[in-house]
Structure 1
Amino acid sequence: MRNYHISKHNSFYAIGLSYKKADAEVRGKFSLDVPAIDHILGKAKEIGIDGLLAISTCNRTELYGFAQHPYQLIKLLCDQTNGTVEEFQEVAYVYKNHDAISHMFKVGTGLDSQILGDFEIISQIKQGFYRSKKLEMANPFLERLCNAVIQASKRIKNETELSSGATSVAFASVKYILDNVDDISNKNILLFGTGKIGRNTCENLVKHSNNSHITLINRTREKAEDIAGKFQLTVRDYGDLQTEIRKADILVVATGAQLPTVSKALIYTKKPLLILDLSVPKNVSDDVKELDNVSLVHLDQLSQITDETLTKRKEYVPKAEAIIEKVKKDFLKWLETRKFAPVINALKDKLNTMKTEEIDFQTKKIEGFDQIQAEIISDRIIQKITKQFANHLKSNEVDTEDSLELIQKVFQLELHSK
């Protein structure tokens, strides 16, 4: 068994940046699409990094992994994005070992989200883990940690009301439209991009605006048709974007493109046009603001809009934190056990070898020697000795690393990699 514990030689790090210190423009420089994530995982494998998970959402980009130094992970991220190490360091955070574990719990349960209680992040962690596993960069530590975070997230969802009301950017965008546009049911709404935020926005628009004038455009028409079919909406080709913008009263942009897809040159409108850009990197050029009848709102502004349920949701934070502590405690218990399991197993092997040698010797030496009874007694003694050592190592007062070293020295143990 290869040993994936937090050790003196290899630490577990969480490195990244989020909406807290990095605006949408900076986050855009460090955002990762699926091919970029796969490339990072491939490079990490080449340089011998053992276990890595990457997540990139509109609010954050993070790498969780094992390294001798966090710079190894920072360099992997910067080499694969448009951001520099200097830009990263201005807005970044680096967490190590137990702090990194705590950070993943906080992120995965929506406590660190731009809109408190936003549970969409957990599917990003699941997706990130799936990619790591596919590229053989997921070790048992990461698997157990992700499962623990998913478990905490489920419990918080079921046992608290942290996720009641508006919890997502998609809902916040629809709320903004409802609050700022009169006669919404008669307006022409154009949705460009059908990624997760686009899909959710579309669903919320249909549910809350009572509007049947919604048109969808996506680079891949089939994806738009899938969604449109559910809600009986209109689909137009990507080539019709300019024409459809001209007809629209509201344009919602939620594409996953790395460069702006909507600019001033695309817009010829005689009537007021509200544009919501829900993309990171930004997908609407700032030059559209130069047009008199166009107003542009970006995701970061939307996220500051809170509805009345947000205050209510804050009351459930202590309960959510208590659930996290419980699940995290179980995970750390598993981690400690995993840390010393190879030594305990090697000790058991050593004692079993001693037992076999001794029983062989006594069988030859003593006539009528009861080998079966001797086996039973020896096994019970070995079980008690190893349990005694395991309990010692579990104790909070003990320096586990030093004790493990001492046990290995005293019994001259060899730890085998399987």
Structure 2
Amino acid sequence: MSFFALGVNHQTASVELRERVAFNPERLNQLLSQQSHHHELHDMVVVSTCNRTEIYAMADHADILLNWLAESNQIEVKQLSNHVYCYENTEAVSHLMRVSSGLDSLMLGEPQILGQVKTALSCAKDVGVVSQQLNQIFEYAFYAAKRVRSETAVGSHAVSMGYAVAQLALQVFSEASTLTVMVVAAGEMNSLVAKHLAEMGVAKILICNRGRERAEKLAQEIAHRVSVEIIPFDQLAQNLHRADVISSCTGSLHQVIAFSDVKAALKKRRYEQMLMVDLAVPRDIDSKIESLDGVYLYGVDDLQSVIDENLAQRRQAAVEAEVMVNQLVSKLVIQQKVDAAADLICHYREQAEMLEQQELKHALESLKSDADPEQVLQAFAHRLTQKLLHPTSILLRQAAQHEDPSHMEWLRESLPEILENRRKSKLDQENGK
């Protein structure tokens, strides 16, 4: 049985296909519950996000995973097979680590994916389709992701507009907890700005949007983190003075924040500094505002140059992260081999103990019949040694006959070293060390 990773992502499949194979949590839980009784595929985790749907599973062959993904979404296997990727064992472990670390994301180094993978594992464990072996692989991948995050700079620099605005606010104002933020328009871009700033612990967010419904939706999404107030769009100018940070992205064909309105707002604020970010094209904010003392005005081009530089730094850090992932994969593979050998070693020791008891019983019976104790002990040692050495002798002969001479070379080099270490250890014990 092997460890497989099979799926589609933003690099191999269109948005339309990704939508067809995506799972919502309720349906996924139902499907995984059914798999707990499946005789071929009952040890699996499914990661489903807007950019990827992946199955990680212990299985005899990959076709089982492909068939399940196709049947679960009523897609022809042939249609799906042109877009899936599949990795096995070492490559599958490496892929899981890269995904968890954000190295395989559309936005290099994005942090959300780790939480999504952890949630996927938790859901699968809740319905009982995760073995100890599969769980250990995932836990090691989380450890790898933590190492990548803490020891490289792959996630350290802002590479999205929303995050860049939030970082800029912290540079202009050293203390986030006292800030009032205004987002002018509650579209996708400003929603990200609001969410990032809410996570950073600002005091209040004012949402100014033309339509009430979208403003209320954004307010509900961030209200658990920050105080929120919705402002009618026709009252924008009257409320500018309340905001330390203003992010505008309306999509309007005309400017919505005028020079005179900001000048009046500054006066009401007693000229306390303001950060204004214009994410709109065409621009929302009058460019002459930049000439006002106490106002920092940034546009899309200003932020994009910062993002491009940061993305280049992330890519450089990703090279270091890839090396780290490869090293951690190698360590896991070695540990898995050691764990696999543990069962064989345990079995061999049980056999040796059984032989010991057999020969001991035979020796004790001989002593009861008044046999010479010295001869009994010699016979006991000889018979036990012969039986213990028999399997090893067979393996040595087979290694000598094997087409690949490296087996015999390894034994030739390793056995004398092991025996010498045992001899030294015995001498140390005899000398009281």
Q: TM-score, normalised on structure 2?
A: 0.59
> What corresponds to 1:287 in structure 2?
none
Post-superposition CA distance 1:53-112 (Å, at most 9, x none): 110112111001122332211222223336543442232111122221221122111111
Check 1:26–1:226 CA distance in 2 against 1; reply closer, same or farther (3 A cut). closer
Is the 1:218–1:224 Cα contact (8 Å) retained in structure 2? no
Post-superposition CA distance 1:368-406 (Å, at most 9, x none): 9799xx99xx89x979x99xx9xx99xx9569xxxxxxx
Check 1:397–1:145 CA distance in 2 against 1; reply closer, same or farther (3 A cut). farther
Check 1:73–1:17 CA distance in 2 against 1; reply closer, same or farther (3 A cut). same
Check 1:363–1:54 CA distance in 2 against 1; reply closer, same or farther (3 A cut). same
Q: Are 2:123 and 1:131 equivalent residues in the alignment?
A: yes
The residue correspondences of 1:199-214 to structure 2 (distance < 5 A) are 202-204=195-197, 212-214=205-207
The residue correspondences of 1:90-239 to structure 2 (distance < 5 A) are 90-166=82-158, 171=163, 188-190=184-186, 202-204=195-197, 212-214=205-207, 225=220, 227-234=222-229
Shift of 1:113: 1.0
The residue correspondences of 1:4-403 to structure 2 (distance < 5 A) are 10-48=1-39, 49-81=41-73, 83-166=75-158, 171=163, 188-190=184-186, 202-204=195-197, 212-214=205-207, 225=220, 227-234=222-229, 306-366=307-367
Q: Distance in 2 between matches of 1:206 and 1:363?
A: 76
Check 1:200–1:361 CA distance in 2 against 1; reply closer, same or farther (3 A cut). farther
Q: Distance in 1 between matches of 2:85 and 2:255?
A: 41
Extract unaligned runs of 5+ from structure 2: 168-180, 237-247, 257-281, 283-303, 400-404, 409-433
Q: Distance in 2 between matches of 1:61 and 1:16?
A: 6
Shift of 1:13: 1.4
Is the 2:67–2:77 Cα contact (8 Å) retained in structure 1? yes
Q: Which protein has greater RCO, CA pairs closer than 8 Å, 6+ apart?
A: 1
Q: TM-score, normalised on structure 1?
A: 0.61
Q: Distance in 2 between matches of 1:321 and 1:92?
A: 23
Q: Distance in 1 between matches of 2:115 and 2:221?
A: 20
| Structure with the higher fraction of residues in helix conformation | 2
Check 1:172–1:54 CA distance in 2 against 1; reply closer, same or farther (3 A cut). farther
Q: Distance in 1 between matches of 2:193 and 2:184?
A: 18
Range 94-103 or range 43-52, more displaced? 43-52
| SS state at 2:223 partner | helix
| SS state at 2:325 partner | helix
Check 1:170–1:90 CA distance in 2 against 1; reply closer, same or farther (3 A cut). farther
Is the 1:187–1:211 Cα contact (8 Å) retained in structure 2? no
The structure having more radius of gyration, on CA atoms, is 2
Aligned-residue RMSD, C-alpha: 5.0
Q: Distance in 2 between matches of 1:168 and 1:147?
A: 29
Shift of 1:356: 0.9
Q: Distance in 2 between matches of 1:37 and 1:186?
A: 39
Q: Distance in 2 between matches of 1:153 and 1:229?
A: 28
Check 1:174–1:218 CA distance in 2 against 1; reply closer, same or farther (3 A cut). farther
Extract unaligned runs of 5+ from structure 1: 1-9, 176-184, 237-242, 253-268, 274-292, 294-302, 400-418
| SS state at 2:103 partner | coil
Shift of 1:160: 1.1
Q: Report the residue type matching 2:116 in the other structure.
A: Q
Q: Distance in 2 between matches of 1:104 and 1:228?
A: 34
Q: Distance in 2 between matches of 1:174 and 1:26?
A: 34
Post-superposition CA distance 1:100-136 (Å, at most 9, x none): 1221122111111111111221112211111222222
| Number of residues of Structure 1 aligned to a counterpart in Structure 2 | 317
Q: Distance in 2 between matches of 1:110 and 1:87?
A: 28
| SS state at 1:316 partner | helix
| SS state at 1:328 partner | helix
Is the 1:191–1:202 Cα contact (8 Å) retained in structure 2? no
Amino-acid identity (%): 20
Shift of 1:235: 7.6
Check 1:364–1:187 CA distance in 2 against 1; reply closer, same or farther (3 A cut). closer
Check 1:85–1:360 CA distance in 2 against 1; reply closer, same or farther (3 A cut). same
